[in-house]
Amino acid sequence: MKITCSKQKLSEGINIVSKIVPTNTTMQLLQCILIRAENGEIRFTANDMEIGIETVIEGTIETAGMVAVDAKKFSELIRILPDDDITIETDRDFILNFSCASFRSNPTLVGVNGDDYTFLPDPDRIEEVAVSMYGFKDVISKIMFSVGSGDINKTLSGANVVIKGDQLRMKTLDGHRVSIRNMKLKESYSDVDVIIPAKTLNEINRILPAETEKDIRISFCESHAIFEFEKTVVVSSLIDGQFIDVERMITKDYDTKVKINRKRLMDCIVRSMFYSKEGNKKPIVINISDNELELTIRSSDGGLEEVIEIEKEGKDIRIGFNPRFVFEALRVIEDEDVELYFVNSRSPLYIRDEAENYIYMILPINLNE
């Protein structure tokens, strides 16, 4: 194999695929990037057996071929080479030689026969959906903070993606809170209800361009999801099982409704988190009466008390929360004002907009403990 690419294109391809390369594995090939130069295309592939990424980079193929190379060493070597066109050539023993026009020496890496590499699966597609790149990236970034660890229930280590007609609904749950985001699709599709691993969605969020006019194509298969955009393909296993029915947890009933300036409340919570550090975690206490929300926190380091003006409907209430949980929900909302819904001091807080484009549910802390 002999190819020539710019350092920039090589670096872009490495950056797209290398993040999924496992660092702790006994399978040497999984620590490699597969380079394939054939049919006029140069492809980089990485695969950890649960998620695989393949991308096409621009370059010139002088001799077609294939080789697997250690991802970390390959990345480090390309990084230190001059900003110029780089020629990569392999011999019959899969040794890679690198050369640049402005670089006189010939650094080498020992590669592996690419025929032994595990290629990405190509399962039969059942349903293909076109989703706005910008919208999909936005939804992912606003729910992943509440993904569960999966230690007890593996289904919680991913996001539940549900498609009905022209609506996509994505949900995460970590046992203390629920995050839900909705987006409208350009067309209507058959029903889909799958669990996509958090690792997959985080990788897609990292490498997906925030293009407002372009779509990502998502194909759902029996046990996989395939994501295709521009010159990149991501193939991911789906999490087997039934996601917890979070819809049964959501209620539109409330005894207290509060409209409050989001930034004002968020800034107040940030200050309260100074007194709720690791090893000294204390809840924030929210006391709502008349047209005021009083937020207090007390710890061995001191305390804080602030009052914020609000618009209130319904009963007065006193309730406690983990401040980080409330902050992380407020941080991903863009509305100037937010509406908080309370049932009672032992029931969850709901933060949602009128159209329910987003719903965040946060369990309270028992203040009597």
User: Can you tell me the distance from the alpha carbon of 222 to that of 120, in angstroms, rounded to the nearest whole number?
Assistant: 16
| Helix intervals (H) in the chain | 7-18, 71-80, 133-141, 198-207, 262-272, 323-331
CB-based contact 17:54 (threshold 8 Å): yes
For 79: left if phi > 0, alpha if psi spans -120 to 50, otherwise beta; the answer is alpha
- CATH 3.10.150.10 assigned to domain 2-116? The reply is yes
Strand partners, 167: 164, 184
Residue 365 DSSP one-character state: B
Q: Tens of pLDDT along the chain (369 residues)? A: 999 999 999 999 999 999 999 888 778 888 999 999 999 999 999 999 899 999 999 999 999 999 999 999 999 999 999 899 999 999 999 999 998 877 666 668 999 999 988 888 888 888 899 999 999 999 999 999 999 987 889 999 999 999 999 999 999 999 999 999 999 999 999 999 999 999 999 999 999 998 889 999 999 998 999 999 999 999 999 999 999 999 999 999 999 999 999 999 999 999 998 887 755 678 999 999 999 999 999 887 788 999 999 999 999 999 999 999 999 999 999 999 999 999 999 999 999 999 999 999 999 998 875
Scan for tokens 């660092």, then name that residue: 23
3-class secondary structure, 39: coil
- Where exactly are the structural domains of the chain? 2-116, 127-247, 250-362
178 Cβ partners below 8 Å, 6+ apart? 146, 171, 172, 246, 249, 250, 359, 360, 361
Nearest CA to 344 among 357, 363, 369? 363
Superfamily designation of domain 250-362? DNA Polymerase III, subunit A, domain 2 (3.10.150.10)
Residue 200 DSSP one-character state: H
What pLDDT score does 27 carry?
82
3-class secondary structure, 116: helix
What architecture does CATH give domain 127-247? Roll (3.10)
Which helix (H) or strand (E) segment is 312 a member of? strand 311-314
Write the single-letter amino acid at 167. Answer: Q
